[in-house]
Amino acid sequence: MKILKFGGTSVGSAKNMKHVKEIVLSQDTAIIVVVSALHGITDRILVAAHSASIGTSHFHDDLHFIKAKHYDLLEELFQENSSIKSIVDELLNELEQILNGIALVRELTLKTLDRIEGIGERISSQIVAQYIGEKRIDMSELIRTDSNFGNATVDFETTNSNIKKAFTNFSGVAVVPGFISKNEKGEYTTIGRGGSDYTAAIISAALDVEILEIWTDVNGFMTADPSIIRKAYTIPELSYSEAMELSHFGAKVIYPPTILPVYQKGIPILIKNITNPDLPGTIISKESRNGSDRIIKGVSSISGITLITLQGLGMVGVTGISMRLFTALAKENVNVILISQASSENSISVAIDENNLSRAFESIRQEFKNELIDGRISQVNTENDLAIVAIVGEGMKRTTGIAGKLFSTIGKNGVNIIAIAQGASELNISWVVKKDELRKTLNVVHESFFLSENVELNVFLMGIGTVGGNLLQQLGMQQQKLIDEKHLKIKLVGVANSRKMVFDRDGITIQNFKEILDKSNEESSLQGFVSRIKAMNIYNSVFVDCTASKDIVTIYKEILQANVSIVAANKIAASSDFHTYQELKKIAKKRGVKFLFETNVGAGLPIINTLNDLIDSGDKILKIEAVLSGTLNYIFNVISAEITLSETIKLAKEKGYSEPDPRIDLSGIDVARKILILARESGYQIEMDDVKINRFLPDSLFEGSLADFWESIPAFDHKFENERQRLLAENKKWRFVAKFENGSAEVGLQEVDSKHPFYDIEGSNNMVIYSTERYREFPMLIKGYGAGAEVTAAGVFADLIKVSKL
């Protein structure tokens, strides 16, 4: 024998009713079908009753809605002369008469409410029985309860006896209403919201059925709320305990008390989707068999929470405080969802539904009024607009490091945890966060515990010029490969140029980003960009600066403080005043995010990363020698008898090696910034003014307009050609060298002979030589292509990969 329970959505439309009929009639064993009211009907009856009790005429509108919904379904399912119409009429007339009576006396008792609340189930069960052509049995005559109207307690001894007697030698199909019951006087009672699930479980346990199937409008228990976590998927199997915990913390798949009767008998529950009956659903049993590969089965949440905290040194060592607190709440029928108590006993916090705050607060203050007066309890605090999040899984038992990983990951994403609770069973860990942090929290947790197949990195990009454009091109080419091989999904969620900006939480298609950006109506602004980053509040976010703007650096601090990592191709921040550099590094460390700028020196070469590894492993930098300007190296490699200095500079500009104004490169300032960054990363406090710049061209060339420069530079061609011939005769070459030693830094043109490592540097390549305590006799050398948008973009890409491993 099986029990099949169909929810309000399952029986609320003709289409779904056809599914119900097919499912029921396809069974090859005895079936009892438990039916809920049509979707939304019970709530509408409650609204109508309360409207009637305060003397408003609005209940007539509610009654009209209730009638229309049932009659519309009847019209779709049956011919006009069907006998079911008169049965439904009779029940709806009963509802109307009771509502009129409530309006007349302006009083609504729980007893009256119980009588009308179950009318929806009484009607729907009649409709289903008639439609599938099977008999109906009135479960209210079988389920016996006490007279606690509104939430009656089942008398299981009498109920089980009644059910067994009614279904002795039962075969075929029977349709029964859920939710309703009667007391020993024959008066209608109800067994709590979600009671149709409970009805099905009670019948299942009484008859020792093989399985309880609950047909609803979802595919089963999900790893998270799919309306928030789009990557949530169906959990194949759960234990009774796991299902109970997920239900308690907001997974609205089944009514929590449902589990107890079937749990006691070891009867499995199968959750199925009425609109997708071929999907496997979720099976709930004594032990879930797929727990080994998933320590955490799911993450659930409850919004609309208020936290009440009782605090005071007078609570320490005093027995009975907790008992009095919970008694005060129980008097007001306030359910405690979560409890968190300090081990010092000087505070205890309880999380409740925010709708119960006023009653709970006053009851607590009344209970502890003497302690509040004499100061033993200093205050009763409330905090609103909160949410509870819980992770659930029996795999957490005796598994070390779960809580550490959980709270570390949440903290790194900038979510503040207000209260924490974990039972000794180790079945769940629950905590309280601000409601506006709920989406981020759920995403972080879902991903960090491998409930998501891929790690997501959400990118906000400023600057889509040569470097930014190349970066997006490389991301577009590698996007699918990263997903397939690394399970890393890099998602562009915000992008801006100097005119416009556009944002999309779900991701901006990289291949079409220019078109999307052009169509945007949002004007680009620094503060506007930061505000959108903070407002979107997306987990695992990184801001990428592919500009050379001084202004953009001013927003770095605010971005890091929002727990968003930064990857900068822009070298202004790392080479600004030492206080700013140090502050940004400290904020990143404190917030648990990354501030990476590998491409500031050597484009895509691992120069800064290698330096950091040396320092982190305990080595000390003694000396740095480097050729760090791909532009200048290109110029001094290309200059020849056929190509003069001025022509070489023009070639560097045409090939994109130099800045649009090549004087930036020729001045040595760019190289000075780079050696400054390396010195700072080596652990030295040094400012830009401390770097000595030895220019190889007179200062007059760096004054005036760019046109003046191009007009004046040919005058130096002859001088440089004479010097070049001398170097050629001496087998030497020019290299623009940056040097840091004994706390001093300088940059300038240097002559090197054929024995020097810098001699053979080709094209626009860079080279860095690190002399350290470990690499003193044979210094470490890093050499490679150190200029150009493509390699710089590749370096930014590599930094993004590092951020994803945070």
Q: Which residues are catalytic?
A: 674
DSSP string computed for 750-776? EEEETTSGGGG--TTEEEEEEEESSSS
Count Cβ atoms below 10 Å from residue 494 Cβ, excluding itself. 23
Which pair of tokens denotes residue 634?
């290109």
Q: Please identify which residue in the block is written with the tokens 């006993």.
A: 345
What is the rounded CA–CA span in Å between residue 487 and residue 509? 19
Instruction: Output the CA–CA distances (angstroms, integers) from residue 386 to 220, 334, 417, in the order listed.
Output: 27, 17, 11
- Copy the structure tokens of residue 420: 């924490």
Q: Residues 22, 50: contact at Cβ < 8 Å?
A: no
Among the listed residues 35, 36, 131, the one whose alpha carbon sits nearest the alpha carbon of residue 82:
131
Judged by DSSP in three states, 572 sits in coil
Each residue of 221-246: b (16+ CB within 10 Å) or e?
Answer: bbbbbeebbebbebbbbbbbbbbbbb
DSSP structure string for 507-521: ---GGGHHHHHHH--
Q: Per DSSP, what are the bridge partners of residue 736?
A: 749
Q: Is 62 exposed, middle or buried (0-12, 13-18, 19+ CB in 10 A)?
A: buried
**CB contact set of 608 (below 8 Å; sequence gap of 6+):** 597, 598, 600, 601, 602, 677, 678, 681
Instruction: Report residue 260: phi and psi, to 5°.
Output: -60, -55
Cβ(392)–Cβ(320) below 8 Å: no
Return the exposure string of 689-706: e unless at least 16 CB atoms fall within 10 Å of the residue's CB, then b: ebbeeeebbeeebeeeee
Q: Where are the alpha helices (DSSP H) in 78-194?
A: 84-105, 110-117, 119-132, 156-166
Residue 735: what are its φ and ψ, rounded to 5°? -140, 135
Which 3 state secondary structure label does DSSP give 385?
strand
CA distances to 633, 642, 728 from 724, in Å: 14, 12, 6
